[in-house]
């Protein structure tokens, strides 16, 4: 594996130089929050960030996306697939938990049968550069409980780890190696590796929040009707913040929009927290209350995804924990389930 050493304060310059040649998404500070945005001339990347407010899944799975467009004719309609203008791009500086989420989303969108070309195309053309958490950013981080680590190359093409005043840059995949020219000529030596390993194990040990995420699977297998499910949802507002911010939530709606003779069919993020999500035309709703919706969200992450893809659909980023307006804490939910 090719490795380089760069100065920590060189990151922003590298990202901007890259952005001159190829579209680059990077963390950008906006008031108190950080979002992943396309870098443009007047936009400064901000790498001294904890984590982005939103998960960067929107780079591959935008909030709204055209599936097809059409034009009305005398007899009906002619239509065409949404133009795919996706070119190569770089996602610069995502946290390891979010890079991990891409691997999980791939399992759903990139299946042999029914490949979701809109997602897969963007994913394949984008190089993911992970900025490791040399110091875990939040007390709510629990990546180590859900198969992640604060310093991890899972889902990354390039892994950047801050070691003191320098950054070790590891080119994990051939796709990552193609960008090697931006990172200078200073090859990393064994001492840098040793330093990185030290940083990694310290960071791992610093993740204090632990949940029994794997232990609850057999319990969920047998407790769909447990009275426990009556207890979580009471204060849930069904606002959908948890699903909106979640790196692995991928549910979407499909709807049509018409303007004159032209129209588009779009998909947009949807949420299992919303009553209409499963409501049928007849009025019947298989998940009639927030109880069933909360059960669905929990089950989907810690049982259904495991059944279907052998992976927990949670990366431990803690966004839902930090941002829930009524302080429902998935860590507590999982903890409680483990005691059923």
Binding stretches for another protein (CB under 8 A): 67-68, 70, 72-73, 75-79, 81, 108-109, 114-118, 224, 250-256, 258, 263, 265, 267, 270, 272, 277-282, 286-287, 292, 296, 299-300, 303-304, 307-308
CB of 337 to another protein, least distance (A): 16
Which residue, 162 or 249, is less far from another protein as judged by CB? 249
Distance, C-alpha 152 to centroid of its chain: 15
Which residue, 127 or 296, is less far from another protein as judged by CB? 296
CB of 65 to another protein, least distance (A): 10
Q: Which of 157, 59, 140 is nearest to 329 (CA)?
A: 140
- Which segments of the chain does DSSP mark as H helices, in order? 11-19, 96-109, 117-125, 174-177, 190-206, 216-222, 229-232, 241-245, 290-299, 305-309, 319-323, 330-338
CB of 265 to another protein, least distance (A): 7
Strand partners, 99: none
CA-CA distance, 267 to 257, in Å (whole number)? 11
Given a contact cutoff of 8 angstroms between Cβ atoms, the answer to whether 273 and 330 are in contact is no
Which residue, 195 or 297, is less far from another protein as judged by CB? 297
CB of 54 to another protein, least distance (A): 19
Which phi-psi region, left, alpha or beta, contains residue 35 (left: φ > 0; alpha: ψ -120 to 50)? beta
Which residue, 123 or 195, is less far from another protein as judged by CB? 123
CB of 267 to another protein, least distance (A): 8
CB of 67 to another protein, least distance (A): 5
- Report CA dihedral (153, 158, 163, 165) to the nearest 10 degrees: -160
CA-CA distance, 197 to 190, in Å (whole number)? 11
Q: Can you tell me whether residue 252 is helix, strand or coil?
A: strand
Which residue, 2 or 106, is less far from another protein as judged by CB? 106
Which residue, 46 or 309, is less far from another protein as judged by CB? 309
């Amino acid at each position: 594996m090719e490795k380089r050493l760069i100065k920590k304060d060189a990151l922003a310059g590298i990202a901007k130089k890259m952005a001159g040649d190829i579209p680059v998404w990077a963390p950008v500070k906006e008031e108190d929050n950080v979002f992943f945005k396309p870098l443009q001339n007047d936009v400064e990347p901000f790498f001294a960030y904890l984590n982005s407010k939103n998960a960067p899944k929107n780079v591959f799975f935008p909030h709204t996306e055209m599936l097809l467009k059409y034009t009305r004719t005398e007899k009906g309609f002619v239509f065409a697939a949404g133009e795919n203008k996706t070119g190569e791009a770089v996602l610069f500086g995502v946290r390891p938990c979010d890079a991990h989420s891409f691997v999980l989303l791939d399992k759903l969108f990139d299946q042999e049968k029914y490949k979701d070309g809109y997602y897969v195309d963007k994913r394949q053309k984008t190089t993911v550069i992970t900025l490791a958490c040399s110091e875990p950013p939040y007390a709510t981080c629990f990546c180590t409980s859900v198969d992640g680590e604060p310093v991890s190359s899972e889902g990354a093409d390039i892994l950047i780890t801050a070691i003191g005043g320098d950054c070790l840059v590891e080119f994990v995949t051939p796709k990552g190696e193609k960008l090697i020219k931006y990172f200078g000529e200073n090859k990393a030596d064994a001492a840098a590796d040793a330093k990185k390993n030290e940083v990694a194990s310290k960071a791992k040990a610093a993740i204090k929040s632990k949940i029994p995420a794997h232990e609850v699977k057999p319990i969920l297998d047998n407790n769909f009707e447990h009275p426990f499910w009556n207890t979580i949802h009471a204060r849930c507002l069904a606002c959908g913040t948890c699903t909106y911010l979640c790196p692995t939530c991928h549910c979407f709606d499909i709807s049509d929009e018409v303007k004159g003779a032209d129209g588009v069919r779009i998909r947009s993020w949807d949420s299992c927290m919303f009553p209409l999500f499963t409501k049928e035309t007849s009025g019947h709703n298989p998940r009639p209350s927030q109880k069933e919706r909360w059960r669905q969200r929990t089950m989907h992450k810690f049982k259904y995804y495991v059944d279907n893809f052998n992976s927990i659909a949670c990366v431990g980023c803690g966004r839902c924990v930090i941002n829930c307006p009524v302080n429902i804490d998935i860590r507590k939910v999982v903890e409680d389930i483990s005691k059923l």
